Amino acid sequence: MPPPPRAWQRMLSGRRLDLLDPTPVDIEIEDIAHGLAFVARWNGQTRGDWPYSVAEHSLLVEEIFTRATPRPDPRWQLAALLHDAPEYVIGDMISPVKAAVGPSYGELDDRLSAAIHIRFGLPARLPAAIKKRIKSADKLSAWLEATQIAGFTEAEANRFFGRIDPALLEGLSLHLRPPREARTAYLARHAALLAKM
């Protein structure tokens, strides 16, 4: 009988992360920040000299979530920052690909999210109301990205991501920068939020 396929990945920190059975002790923020800074949103199909990374997207989602939340709790701000953290090892799939892959992608994402949340002092499963507000911030971010760098018209973005409240996006801009800078910004925001918890 052949051995089971390898389901772990060696991280730059030296950790060995089992993708099918992740444990919080194998999660390091430096690995997450590094991985997300190198994962391109929109399959890299964006305007600009640098890919728009999942690290940048995560920073934007947390900023939108914070703007939309009166007296935000740092725990939920941290949850917003970490909302796509599993993508540091499983990559970012555009929605049509996720639909084609089926529920197994979501199950893998859920297991990784739970381990990441526990590692940083959050509940394994977020409260439904918080998850909904993070998803709303995620859609606003997607709308902004779609219209500013991914070639969508506003009408297309409205159809796929919903109509937006322009006030929530006022003054926001997208940052396309080298992975090193995105990683540094992500780590700094993570540290700032942990310090407030």
pLDDT per residue over 19-56, tens digit each?
Answer: 889 999 999 999 999 999 999 999 999 999 999 999 99
- State mean pLDDT over 6-11: 88
pTM value? 0.93
Determine the pLDDT at residue 31: 98
Q: Is the pLDDT of residue 107 over 90?
A: no
Domain range for residue 22?
14-196
Considering the domain boundaries, does residue 9 fall inside one? Answer: no
Determine the pLDDT at residue 166: 81
Strands 16-18 and 8-10: antiparallel
Residue 48 to residues 37, 51, 110, 139, Cα–Cα distance (Å): 16, 7, 32, 21
Long-range (24+ apart) CB contacts under 8 A made by 132-139 are 133/65, 133/68, 133/69, 133/76, 134/61, 134/65, 134/76, 134/79, 134/80, 134/83, 136/68, 137/61, 137/62, 137/64, 137/65, 137/68, 137/80, 138/61, 138/83
| Banded model confidence at residue 93, pLDDT cuts 50, 70, 90 | confident
Considering the domain boundaries, does residue 4 fall inside one? Answer: no
* Domains identified in the chain, total number: 1
Considering the domain boundaries, does residue 2 fall inside one? Answer: no
Considering the domain boundaries, does residue 8 fall inside one? Answer: no
**Which percentage of the chain shows pLDDT scores above 90?**
79
Determine the pLDDT at residue 103: 66
pLDDT per residue over 51-82, tens digit each?
Answer: 999 999 999 999 999 999 999 999 999 999 99
Considering the domain boundaries, does residue 176 fall inside one? Answer: yes
**CATH at residue 147:** 1.10.3210.10
Considering the domain boundaries, does residue 147 fall inside one? Answer: yes
Considering the domain boundaries, does residue 112 fall inside one? Answer: yes
| Banded model confidence at residue 191, pLDDT cuts 50, 70, 90 | very high
Considering the domain boundaries, does residue 155 fall inside one? Answer: yes
